Amino acid sequence: MYNIDFNKPCHVYFMGIGGISMSGLAEILLGEGFTISGSDMKESEITDSLKALGVKVNIGQVASNITDDIDLVVYTAAIKEDNEEFQAVIAKKLPILTRAQLLGQIMNNYKYGIAVSGTHGKTTTTAMMSHVLLQANTDPTITIGGILDAIGGNIRVGHSEYFVTEACEYTNSFHSFNPYISIILNVDEDHLDFFSGIDEIAESFKTFAQILPTDGLLVINGDMEHTAYITGELNCNIVTFGLNEGNKYQAKDITFDEEGHPSYTLVVDGKEVDTIYLHSTGIHNVINSLSVVAVSDFLEIDMEHIKAGLLECTSAKRRYEFKGVSKNGVTIIDDYAHHPTEIAATLEATKNTPHEKLWLIFQPHTYTRTYALLDKFAEVLAVADNVILADIYAAREKDTGIISSKDLCEKINSIGGNAIHIGDFLSIEKFVEKSCKKNDLLITMGAGNVDIIGDSLLKK
């Protein structure tokens, strides 16, 4: 495998540079003196931002983009072997790295590489960890899978030995990482277009945990079914967190203010230590915050910095994000949830947000996920007063006809829910304008582009 050398910056070409993770890595290398260029299939705010930094971005992926001055090519999992640009790279016999391999090599340049993993909650927890590190003036390098206001985007290039990033299990990409500290928030059934089931997913997280050095730290949810399996053969430091007795870091006496923000008593090794206040909503974020406290404690960060960072963190964009109130008095929130467990957590959080009726506009994400988890999706979505289903967001997949939003709609209604399939965004927008009343709560939900419905409603 090709190894980058920070002492000898070269020309690196990113295939798919407009992706939120790829663009972040490109900016890190740019800050280290590397020459950066790349390509993407369409223009975006991210590609515009990169161009403003002096990065050459090709729109469209054709063979002529691969010039002789390129030393290394980095590509994403979305790039297939029949891609014309990729074929040109192979023909020229250029060194190549996957996005995950590059990120793993970048981590080797930092003493305290922190990898935040889990089926759910990675972006929010990375945001929390980032806020604490910033509060403690550690000057961290940060790469996050969302837009974080505190750093003005998805990347911050610091000049210290602290590095924090998300670590995704899809295609086992986090096996290429080299962290000193790892967080495992949860292990759930997802990405079933790659994994055969929950057992293989748990095995993947176990392999990820085994990467840690003997003096490193694994911070893991002690309330999970798979915790003992993952930690059974590890020789690094291990601490657990959760709501149950027996965890080193535990939250007790959880309460919510009038806006749904939680606070709790922090218990460490069975002793009450302090009171933690959060600006993020939901019990799930109480649990997420415990992992950040554990890492911060290991790094000997002062408790006042921990508390201030957690309170300051309003999460990343699209994580129970308050968008505004429409002209007819409807509160609009946007959320990235696209898995039944995430949806359930978000809907639980709405109980602490004052409202009359709860309206949920849901855009399912990928056909394989919708098909594999159809019954679970129906069960959690049926909780909302009214569910409006947009067509499935295909992402990396093609429609083979195995599933549609109409099927999900029928399943929800068959178990007593109240769902309607409308499909296109313009029709959904017109429907909710007529249907939602003052003091109702409207949530746009999904990992696709469903958030633009809320943005459009607020402009009227």
Write out the catalytic residue numbers: 122-123, 166
Report how far Cα 216 is from the mean position of its chain's Cα atoms: 23
Beta bridge pairs of residue 389: 362, 421
CA angle (391 as vertex; 434, 357 as ends), nearest 5: 35
Measured CA to CA, the distance from residue 188 to residue 226 in angstroms comes to 10
Beta bridge pairs of residue 182: 115, 218
Strands 262-268 and 271-277, bridge-based pairing: antiparallel
DSSP 209-256: HTTS-TT-EEEEETTSTTHHHHHTT--SEEEEEESSTT-SEEEEEEEE
Helix axes 20-31, 99-107, angle to 10 degrees: 40
Reading the block at residue 408, the tokens are 């999900």
Tell me the Cα Rg of the chain.
22
List the one residue out of 86, 125, 109, 166 whose CA is nearest residue 309.
125
Determine phi and psi for 253, rounding to 5 degrees: 55, 50
Determine phi and psi for 62, rounding to 5 degrees: -125, 160
DSSP 315-384: -STTSSEEEEE-TTS-EEEEE---SHHHHHHHHHHGGGS--SSEEEEE--B-HHHHHHTHHHHHHHHTTS
The answer to whether 172 and 203 are in contact (CB under 8 A) is no
Spatial neighbors of 141 by CB under 8 A, at least 6 apart, are 28, 110, 156, 157, 158, 160, 162, 163, 164
